[in-house]
Amino acid sequence: MKKIILICLLGYLCVPTSTSTAQVADSPPGQNLVYSLGNPGQEGESSSASVGEAYIYGEVVGKQLSDTVYLASWTHFLDDDQQNPAPLQQQSELMRGNLFEGSYGKQVFEFNLPVTDAVSLFSLRLDKFPVLKNYLIAAGDSIKLLIDLRAGQVLFTGPSGPKYQAQHLIRQSLEASRQDQDPVMVSSPSGKEKMISRYPEMYQKAQEEASGLRKSLRFITNRADSLYQVESLALTDPFSHPAWSLLESQTPFLGEQFASLISSRIIAAQLLPFFRSARAYADLGKQVFELTQEQREFLLEAKERFGWNAQAPELIEILLLERYLTALREGTTLFFQYDQMEQPIRDRLYGKYLASNIEHRAISPEAFAHAGQTVQTPWILDMIRDMQDHLVAGADLSGYSFADEAGDRVNLQQFEGKLVLVNFWLSGCVYSQAEFENVVHPAEEHFKNDKRIVFLSVSADPRKTIWLNTLGTGEFTSALSLPVYAGVEHAMMRDMGIHSYPRKVLLGTEGQLLAFQDLPRDAASLISILEESLESIPSPQPLSK
């Protein structure tokens, strides 16, 4: 049976992860951005012309619940788990092995991956269980992948096997270090005491048995705890990590292209925990800035020794964080800091900043205009212009349509002359339910006699049957709204970068975007915004008798 998994994000959003068939096909906020043009004459990255394909043949040994292998690949990538640009989703049904191919008793699968930038990223999973996450793959490579569930191991063979086995060893080394970090929890002093009093035996055992092998949860409840957390993540010698020795020994198998990219991934993967923590506690000021300067030296040393490879998504994330902290320290703007970087890193900083922030923050037309004038990499420029077309106030969103309970189309154009509040939600998401009960429904009640406004309740459930069953509960919609179905691959959600729920979109009388990222999460503020938006819409005149 296929299941729908809801992942809670940021304490108030749900992200759907579905095991149903896919169609083939953290970034810091800015501050008072002042825009200046980038340096002319800098070259961008190559266009997205097709380079070639890579091939994966796999064998699975051992009992498993799923009969399908899922693969996501990114021909262009700014992030290690991005939706913009969206990945190409593929799936392969597991087939019985062939006695005469030596795969009898195993289950086999295969994929062809388009590779447009010489190197792409791919992730592979069995059902909802990840097997490989964000591995590099190059055009022309052929890999035989053995997934041994009995022994708990993944092996790479075939013509390009040694190259990928080498990458696997390095990634395992980095992952082991990540898993060994001390667990922390941000809480209030009273929250800490409540948790300890609720589980006193577990807390006492963790304190008594804490060692290098068994970690003890550390609470962050005040500024001193925050500073200690940042200090504890500062590295003293990142180049002593085993991953560097592996890189040196495996470079003959990796080749120059992979080795260059992986060196940037190694240094960034080690420093990311520190920079993420420093970003979170940047309000500590001078002490954090001084620690950041020390860690930045390691980045510069890695650049001198190995170079920076702009295709490493971890490097772009860490430079985004570093530029933010530098802007705070120097009192400048983010875009000014991006413009100090060399190409093609500069283009990727702009692209990642906009793609990462657009769903949750309103970005001004001036910001898009500056990015459009500065960025030179064709595919990043296309991505920015596409976001601008759909996400800047005034963008025409009237062309989208949904399905009602009977399966008929409901077009946004049919609400011309009215204000439309679109509420995207997901069955089973407690935050979607709370948003409806505490924010959307009170607004519905407030305007229930006002014919100038429409409340459109849009389900993003992966199957229509789930939506229809949920409608009967009254937990996510009411008789005061118009319920419609979008599904998980709807064009409006894709174009607006909606990947988590609940999300609200406010449209004007001609279907133009009025508000999205900055719509409030409390009923009183939402009602106030709606009342203000209705001021320019004349009330319908009562029919004369």
Please tell me the distance from the alpha carbon of residue 234 to that of residue 457, in angstroms, as a whole number.
47
Q: Is residue 382 part of a domain?
A: yes
> Which residues are CB-contacts of 88 (< 8 A; sequence separation ≥ 6)?
24, 25, 72, 73, 74, 75, 113, 114
Tokens of 372: 């459009």
- Among the listed residues 263, 48, 326, 32, the one whose alpha carbon sits nearest the alpha carbon of residue 136: 263
> Do 483 and 357 share a structural domain?
no
Residue 244 lies in a domain: yes
pLDDT of residue 38: 32
Residues 195 and 306 occupy one common structural domain: yes
Q: Residues 471, 405: one domain?
A: yes
Instruction: Provide the pLDDT for residue 44.
Output: 42
The confidence score (pLDDT) of residue 409 equals 94
Is 160 domain-assigned?
no
Query: What values do phi and psi take at 56, rounded to 5?
Result: -125, 125
pLDDT for 14: 67
- Give the Cα separation of 76 and 66 in Å (integer): 29
- Distance, in Å, from the CA atom of 364 to the CA atom of 368, rounded to the nearest integer, reads 7
Q: Which two tokens stand for residue 475?
A: 């937990």
In a domain, 311, yes or no: yes
DSSP 545: -
Q: Is residue 255 part of a domain?
A: yes
> What was the pLDDT predicted at 28?
33
Nearest CA to 499 among 438, 424, 439?
424
pLDDT, mean of each 10-residue run, the chain (545 residues)? 42 51 32 31 42 92 86 86 79 92 93 87 91 94 94 94 96 92 87 89 86 83 91 95 97 95 97 95 93 95 96 95 95 95 95 83 82 93 86 86 93 94 93 93 94 95 92 91 92 84 93 86 93 86 57
465 domain-assigned: yes
pTM: 0.76
∠ CA 288-293-298, rounded to 5°: 125
How would you classify residue 331: left for phi > 0, otherwise alpha for psi between -120 and 50, otherwise beta? left
Is residue 165 included in any domain, yes or no?
no
* Domain match, 381 and 408 both: no
Distance, in Å, from the CA atom of 56 to the CA atom of 113, rounded to the nearest integer, reads: 8
